[in-house]
Copies of this chain bind each other. A is one copy, B any other.
Amino acid sequence: MLSSSIKQALRRISPTQSARLHTSRTLFSPLTPLTCVKHPELKRSSVYKELQEEDVDYFRTVLSPNNILYHPQPETPEQSILAHHNVDWFNLYRGTSSLCLFPTSTDQVSRILRYCNDNQLAVVPQGGNTGVSGGAVPVFDEIIVNMSKMNTVRSFDSISGVAVVDAGVILEVLDQYLEPKGHMVPLDLGAKGSCQLGGNVSTNAGGLRLMRYGNLHGNVLGLEVVLADGTILHNLSTLRKDNTGYDLKQMFIGAEGTLGLVTGVALSTPRRAKSTHVAMVGLTSFEHVQKAFVMAKEDLSEILSAFEFWDHDSVGMVKQEMMQDTAYPIQGKHAFYALLETQGSRDEHDEEKLNDYLERLMESDIAADGVIAQDNTQVKTLWSWREKIPESMAKAGVAMTYDVSMEVPLLYKMVEDAKKHFGEKGLLGPGKLYSNLLGFGHVGDGNLHIMANVNNFGHKAQADMDEFVFKWAIKHNGSITAEHGVGISKVGYMNDCKSDIQLSLMRAIKTVLDPKGIMNPYKVIPEKSNKQ
């Protein structure tokens, strides 16, 4: 039972209208510079053939007319019927492809890739195009193979909980399909309304509940992949345990479409939680955030499904841009806030565990204030304060976003050091080059998202911030991309963060699976550097 003083601290917030952020596709921006202009170091490789009318004629024998978008010479880029497929979600990368293909079967994908491989035509696989590293759009004129029209749930087994789906099935669609069966997708991320399972697998998507449900290397049981030469690798095992030889599917998880094109996914799905509780607390230091996290693992253990944190500046940004009319549920100003979620099978048990945890948190002076959501609407509202941070930043101006991981104790030090670094140079603050530098993320995964608005946007401004963040992460044994992937955005830093032996193994695997290099070129693996 909560003591009365703590009961007061855990005020019940009043219901308010709110919607969980379902990221929608950003409109094509004519301002988006061409990737090759922004990155003049990238040169179109002459090994790739330029698309000819005869090539399109071949694809017309494979696909019906409504599954081909072809627009060879648009007067302006935004007039192209392919505009949405050439530009990434963040409007940061733009290619100039004139052909986007929409296969409806694995066999069609196989015929497309075989032709491209035979004719040395470069290909970029595309799912929901919600990636934030420029991995799913062409750099130059690569043919786009979009998986949206392969969107069938092939099977679901209610005893094992294994779902087999086409790569183009949208995450949220699968989750809704599983809901009445009492199961759920073991993956949740902001883009769930648009992102596709094939893209999730190809980018090894992490998201909000990885700490509870594990990563895709553990949850994907089988894959169907079309290799670069059109060979179909039938590996859609639904077995939870299978040790017959090398686990080939693992290579394609997180390969960002550079080793083959994922067309089908067998996924282990857990039982859907019957009870969800969400609490938010205010904390005075990042030290306290960590203590609250360790205590949550102790007290909530098997029902803890998320532990998110953000800084005070993040609150101001969401309030200013998106939630002007909603009272922030925590009283007073605190350096940090944490949102923790439980998912379990028995409501009263979960509530008791959560109450006892919060009581301990208050009694040990770790948390200064806190609230518990009383119904589903409040759950969504509390989540909104966390989930609307990126969108609020994008509304406030041109926003740069980073996704790094490191030891938990160092997590927020990067933000502090960045503020100091750019502050001392007089570059940070209202009206200056950078503003609204803030940090938030998944404590449980050691995963920080650091964002900043950049005024008077130029490539150098982004490059300078990139350099600071990436070098800081590398220096502290962190990862320059925890979950977003390398794509085109971080390929220039791969020589700094991977050893020569790691890079040479990646190149060797690439050569085995895609000897002609047609699959998503220019990305993930860098050109050989001088050090090699």
Known: A273-B301, A298-B345. 15 other contacts (CB 8 A): A159-B294, A160-B407, A204-B247, A214-B214, A231-B501, A239-B478, A239-B482, A242-B482, A245-B486, A245-B503, A245-B506, A245-B525, A248-B506, A250-B253, A302-B345
* CB <8 Å contact, B182 and A298: yes
* CB <8 Å contact, A244 and B303: no
Answer whether residue A235 sits at the interface, using C-beta atoms and an 8 A cutoff. yes
Q: If the complex has contacts A243-B483, A245-B506, A345-B302, are A157 and B407 also in contact, measured as CB distance less than 8 A?
A: yes
Which of B206, B240, B509 contacts A405 (CB under 8 A)?
A: B240
Contact partners of A157 in chain B: CB under 8 A: 407
Nearest-Cβ distance from residue A79 to partner chain B, whole angstroms: 35
Answer whether residue A198 sits at the interface, using C-beta atoms and an 8 A cutoff. no
Contact partners of A303 in chain B: CB under 8 A: 302
* CB <8 Å contact, B349 and A243: no
Answer whether residue A271 sits at the interface, using C-beta atoms and an 8 A cutoff. yes
Contact partners of A498 in chain B: CB under 8 A: 244-245
Answer whether residue A255 sits at the interface, using C-beta atoms and an 8 A cutoff. yes
Contact partners of A506 in chain B: CB under 8 A: 245-246, 248
Q: If the complex has contacts A349-B346, A490-B244, are A235 and B405 also in contact, measured as CB distance less than 8 A?
A: no
26 contacts between A and B (CB under 8 A): A159-B294, A204-B247, A206-B243, A211-B240, A231-B501, A233-B505, A237-B479, A239-B482, A243-B479, A243-B483, A243-B486, A244-B490, A245-B506, A246-B251, A246-B509, A247-B254, A270-B301, A273-B302, A300-B345, A302-B302, A302-B343, A346-B353, A349-B349, A505-B512, A508-B512, A512-B512
Contact partners of A214 in chain B: CB under 8 A: 214, 218-219
Task: Tell me which of A227, A247, A481 has the highest count of chain B C-beta atoms within 10 A of its own C-beta.
Answer: A247
Q: Closest residue to A356 on the B side, CB-wise?
A: B346
Answer whether residue A290 sits at the interface, using C-beta atoms and an 8 A cutoff. yes
Nearest-Cβ distance from residue A305 to partner chain B, whole angstroms: 9
Task: Tell me which of A232, A243, A298, A503 has the highest count of chain B C-beta atoms within 10 A of its own C-beta.
Answer: A243
Nearest-Cβ distance from residue A470 to partner chain B, whole angstroms: 10
* CB <8 Å contact, B254 and A481: no
Question: How many of chain A's residues have a CB under 8 angstroms from any CB in B?
Answer: 96
Q: If the complex has contacts A217-B250, A231-B501, A251-B250, are A408 and B245 also in contact, measured as CB distance less than 8 A?
A: no
* CB <8 Å contact, A479 and B244: yes
Q: Closest residue to A157 on the B side, CB-wise?
A: B407
Contact partners of A502 in chain B: CB under 8 A: 233, 235, 245, 248
Q: Closest residue to A447 on the B side, CB-wise?
A: B241
* CB <8 Å contact, B445 and A244: no
Answer whether residue A446 sits at the interface, using C-beta atoms and an 8 A cutoff. yes
* CB <8 Å contact, A505 and B349: no
Q: Closest residue to A299 on the B side, CB-wise?
A: B345
Chain A window 214-241, contacts with chain B (Cβ cutoff 8 Å), 1 for yes, 0 for no: 1101110000000100011111011111
Contact partners of A352 in chain B: CB under 8 A: 346, 349
Contact partners of A302 in chain B: CB under 8 A: 273, 302-303, 343-345
* CB <8 Å contact, A243 and B298: no
CA distance A400 to B482 in the complex (A): 46
Number of this chain's copies in the complex: 2
Answer whether residue A480 sits at the interface, using C-beta atoms and an 8 A cutoff. yes
Contact partners of A481 in chain B: CB under 8 A: 242-244
Contact partners of A447 in chain B: CB under 8 A: 240-241
Answer whether residue A261 sits at the interface, using C-beta atoms and an 8 A cutoff. no
Answer whether residue A484 sits at the interface, using C-beta atoms and an 8 A cutoff. yes
Answer whether residue A485 sits at the interface, using C-beta atoms and an 8 A cutoff. yes
Answer whether residue A499 sits at the interface, using C-beta atoms and an 8 A cutoff. yes
Nearest-Cβ distance from residue A151 to partner chain B, whole angstroms: 25
Answer whether residue A158 sits at the interface, using C-beta atoms and an 8 A cutoff. yes
CA distance A203 to B424 in the complex (A): 53
Task: Tell me which of A161, A297, A301, A485 has the highest count of chain B C-beta atoms within 10 A of its own C-beta.
Answer: A301
Answer whether residue A210 sits at the interface, using C-beta atoms and an 8 A cutoff. yes
* CB <8 Å contact, A253 and B247: yes
CA distance A371 to B71 in the complex (A): 71
* CB <8 Å contact, B499 and A234: yes
Q: Closest residue to A509 on the B side, CB-wise?
A: B246
Answer whether residue A372 sits at the interface, using C-beta atoms and an 8 A cutoff. no
Contact partners of A34 in chain B: CB under 8 A: none
Which of B211, B239, B444, B482 contacts A479 (CB under 8 A)?
A: B239
Answer whether residue A497 sits at the interface, using C-beta atoms and an 8 A cutoff. yes
Nearest-Cβ distance from residue A349 to partner chain B, whole angstroms: 4
Task: List which A146-170 residues lie within 8 A (CB) of chain B.
Answer: 157-161
Q: If the complex has contacts A217-B250, A501-B233, are A485 and B345 also in contact, measured as CB distance less than 8 A?
A: no
Q: If the complex has contacts A231-B501, A509-B512, are A255 and B246 also in contact, measured as CB distance less than 8 A?
A: yes
Task: List which A352-385 residues lie within 8 A (CB) of chain B.
Answer: 352-353
Chain A window 274-311, contacts with chain B (Cβ cutoff 8 Å), 1 for yes, 0 for no: 10000000000000001001100111111100000000
